[in-house]
Each structure stands twice: as C-alpha cells, then as structure tokens.
C-alpha cells in the first residue's frame, strides 16, 4: 500500500479503532486500488468517501422466551452505499454479530453487488441473537420485535435485506409477515422468501451453485476442470450443501464437510445419496455432522479443538478447496497445508474465510484464488433476480433463473480476470474484483455529486 492509501487507511483506524474485521476488509480493497488511483488520481476523493458508511442504525430488540423471561438483544442495519441502487445485503443472527463484522460485510457487499451488473447498493444487518436451540415461537417473537424497528428503515426501493447465517426461510417468513402488517403493503422488501409468497426458484441453491460456476471458469483458464477432482468443502449449511451438489453435477468428488463441532472426511466421496442424508440431518433434524460419520462406513470424524489449533480439514489432500463456513477460517499455516498438498484452486464460498496471510500464501505459490466478493456473489445476484420478479409480479422457471445466474457468474469472472490483466496483475482475482467493483460505484458517486 502506498503512502496515499496508507493515509486513508490510518484515518479509518483512527475513527473506528476497535473494528478489526472492518479494518481487514478496507485494507485489502485499498491495497488493490493503488494502481487505479495512480492512473486516475481524481478517484482519491471517492476512496475517502467509500470507506465511510452512509448510515448506521442500531437498536434494541426486546423479546420474551417460552418461559416468560425477558431478553434484550442488539439489532443493526448498516446502509453502506446506495450509488448504484437500493441497499442490498443479508441479515445475520449470531452471537458474534457486532458493528465491526457487519461493517466489513456491508463494505464487501458494495463491491460484490457492483460486480453482478445488477442495480444494487451494499448493506448488511442482523443481531447478536442466537436462533440455535430456540423454539419456533421464540424465533417468531424475536423476528417480530426486530422488524418493529427495522421496518421504518427499509423498503423495496430503499433497502432490501435477505438472509445470512442464522436467518433462513423460517426467519424471513416471520420478518416479512411483520413488515407487511406494519407497512400495510405487499412488496418485495425481503428476498429469500418462500415460493408461495414471492420467492424465487434457485435462491436457496444460488450461492453454492454460483461459487462452483465461478471456480469452473477460473479452472478453465488453466485448462482444468472439476471432472475427477477431489474437493474439500467446509461448512454444512446452505452454501456448502449446494456447492457440494454442483461439484457432483460437474464430475467432482467432495470429500469433506464440517460444522462448529468438527469435520468429516469421506475418502470414497460424498455422492447424491449421502448429500441427501446430510441435507435432512442439517435442514430438518438440525443435527451435528458427527452423525454422518456414525451412520456411514469409512468416514473419519475429527472434533474441533480450541484455537489456535490448526483445522485438519485443510490438511486433507485435495485438488480444490471451497471454504464455505465463516470469516477467517483459513489462516496462513492452514493455507500452507493446502499448498503442500498441491491444491490447484481455492474459491471462497463464505465472506472473507481466508486471512490476508492465507491469500498471500496462495498467490505466492501460484494457486488460483477467488475472493468471496466475486465467487460467492451468486446469492445476492439471485436475490436481485427475485427483486426483478417481484417488481414484475411474475415468476421465472428454475431453468430461466439458473441460466441467468450462470451468465452473471461467467460475466463476473470475465470482468475480474480482464480488469486484473488491464492493471498489470494477471491472474490476481482479488485485485480484479476489487477494481472492477470499485470503478462502477466510483463513476456513479461522482456523477451524483458524491452524496
């Protein structure tokens, strides 16, 4: 990072000194933008503005549990940038949620949404509420209380939240029901809705499918493919499940999945029958991944250990790695484990699952690396398609949505790849995605008077 960008970064830290996740996201983007500012110094003023959120909303969320006990959680909505469209980004319900994490996610969302080519700004929100172990009634009461404050800050042409960690179809349903009651209107104000009330086909699959579509395009630049490749996938939620499904579709062999308790390694490969069993375990029975190892022969299970132990999942010998769990799940040492096993490609399914040291390790060793703002943009892209369908008051077929999703991911890859080459960093998808996403937003901000 040069001195000009360093001064911008230092001002970010000075203003918000206790937000490490946000600092990490900003540092990565600013580092990528150095050649852009050297070629277009007029964009420096945009950089100074783009690192500051347009609006940050924080509120309390009071609710009663099934025993009648009273609880108070914090709710947030970060409306980061609306230069190219309404704020768009998920809601996360997890105990780790704080302003730093949501600002990092919202900041990333600005560039990710720009890359899709759809008219969507960037935002993110959520709460430190933990839906795990809560009854449907408790989740419903929390969601209704959360929406009683949030509803006044969102709208179909203002801010369109979606789901994220801890916010699935159940939560979106409760949130939408309360919004409809409070606003007295039926609009596409939330995405990830059920099919019976305005949801889109392929939306649950979109992030995982899109991840694999992007990785396929990236592999093709080196005349490689998923056919016959072994694949390590972390996580076992929505993204991991459908990434696993699409890897199988393309002839690959997924061999790992994980959750917070540990990971499984199935040397024989996770086939469609096993994946269906995992989907039932996770989506219906809400069980732990260890049960998969107990049920199927030849599967190894390794329990998670307290930090700073290395995650053995990344020591499994594979051709391709798809981290789909959470931020900073691969550090520099774990990245070196993958490199030592001669991994070909790493594509992020989660938001920022690789630390800066891990990214540096992959790039220094010639590993194809796809940053989440490019490779996991399929989810928000299909949310954008859901917004279009809601505005049109119509529904597209599964095939139509999947074709549009695939086309968007192919175009994101092309844009990131060509932009990296244009600015003298061939094969650097981090720089290519950051620069391509930035340029569109910067042009719009300047045209609108930097408001």
How many CB atoms sit inside 10 A of residue 133's CB?
A: 7
Determine which one of 88, 103, 112, 124 is catalytic.
124
Write out 245-267 in H/E/C secondary structure: HHHHHCCCEEEEEEECCEEEECC
Answer yes or no: are the C-beta atoms of 368 and 319 closer than 8 Å: no
Residue keyed to tokens 């305005």: 198
Query: Is 224 one of the annotated active-site residues of the chain?
Result: no
Strand order in the sheet with 87-93: 55-64, 70-81, 122-127, 87-93, 159-162
Half-sphere exposure of 44 (CA within 13 A, CB side): 15
**Tokens read off for 291:** 């049960």
Rounded CA-CA distance 258/254 in Å is 12
Rounded CA-CA distance 366/345 in Å is 9
Closest by alpha carbon to 95, among 133, 38, 65? 133
Closest by alpha carbon to 434, among 13, 20, 35, 10? 35
**Tokens read off for 364:** 């220094």
Closest by alpha carbon to 389, among 160, 115, 169, 184? 160
Rounded CA-CA distance 445/113 in Å is 15
How many CB atoms sit inside 10 A of residue 341's CB?
A: 15
Residues with a known catalytic role: 124
């Amino acid at each position: 990072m040069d001195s000009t960008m360093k001064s911008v970064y230092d001002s970010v830290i000075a203003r918000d000194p206790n937000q490490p996740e946000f600092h990490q996201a900003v540092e990565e983007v600013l580092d990528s933008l150095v050649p852009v500012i050297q070629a277009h110094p007029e964009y420096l003023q945009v950089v100074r503005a783009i690192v500051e959120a347009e609006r940050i909303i924080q509120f309390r969320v009071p609710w009663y549990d099934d025993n009648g006990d009273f609880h108070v959680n914090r709710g947030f909505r970060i409306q980061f940038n609306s230069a190219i469209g309404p704020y768009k980004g998920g809601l996360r319900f997890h105990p780790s949620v704080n302003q730093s994490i949501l600002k990092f996610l919202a900041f990333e969302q600005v560039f990710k949404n720009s890359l899709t080519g759809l008219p969507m700004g960037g935002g993110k929100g959520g709460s430190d509420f933990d839906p795990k172990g809560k009854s449907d009634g408790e989740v419903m009461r929390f969601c209704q209380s959360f929406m009683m404050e949030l509803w006044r800050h969102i709208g179909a042409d203002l801010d369109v939240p979606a789901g994220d960690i801890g916010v699935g179809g159940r939560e979106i349903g409760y949130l939408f029901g309360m919004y409809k009651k409070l606003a007295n209107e039926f609009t596409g104000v939330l995405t990830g809705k059920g099919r019976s009330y305005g949801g889109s086909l392929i939306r649950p699959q979109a992030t995982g499918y899109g991840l694999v579509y992007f990785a396929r395009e990236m592999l093709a630049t080196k005349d490689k493919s998923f056919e016959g490749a072994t694949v390590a996938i972390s996580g076992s939620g929505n993204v991991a499940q459908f990434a696993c499904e699409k890897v199988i579709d393309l002839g690959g062999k997924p061999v790992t999945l994980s959750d917070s308790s540990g990971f499984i390694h199935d040397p024989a490969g996770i086939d469609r029958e096993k994946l269906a069993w995992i989907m039932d375990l996770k989506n219906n029975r809400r069980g732990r991944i260890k049960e998969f190892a107990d049920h199927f022969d030849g599967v190894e299970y390794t329990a998670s250990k307290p930090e700073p132990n290395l995650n053995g999942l990344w020591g499994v010998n594979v051709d391709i790695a798809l981290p789909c769990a959470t931020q900073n799940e691969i550090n520099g040492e774990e990245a070196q484990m993958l490199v030592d096993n001669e991994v070909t490609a790493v594509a992020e399914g989660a938001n920022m699952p690789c630390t800066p040291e891990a990214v540096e390790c992959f790039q220094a060793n010639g590993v194809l690396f796809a940053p989440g703002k490019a490779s996991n943009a399929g989810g928000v892209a299909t949310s954008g398609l859901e917004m279009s369908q809601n505005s049109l008051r119509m529904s597209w077929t599964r095939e139509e949505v999947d074709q549009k999703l695939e086309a968007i991911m192919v175009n994101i890859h092309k844009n990131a790849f060509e932009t990296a080459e244009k600015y003298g960093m061939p094969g650097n998808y981090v720089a290519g995605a950051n620069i391509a996403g930035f340029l569109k937003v910067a042009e719009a901000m300047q045209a609108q008077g930097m408001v």
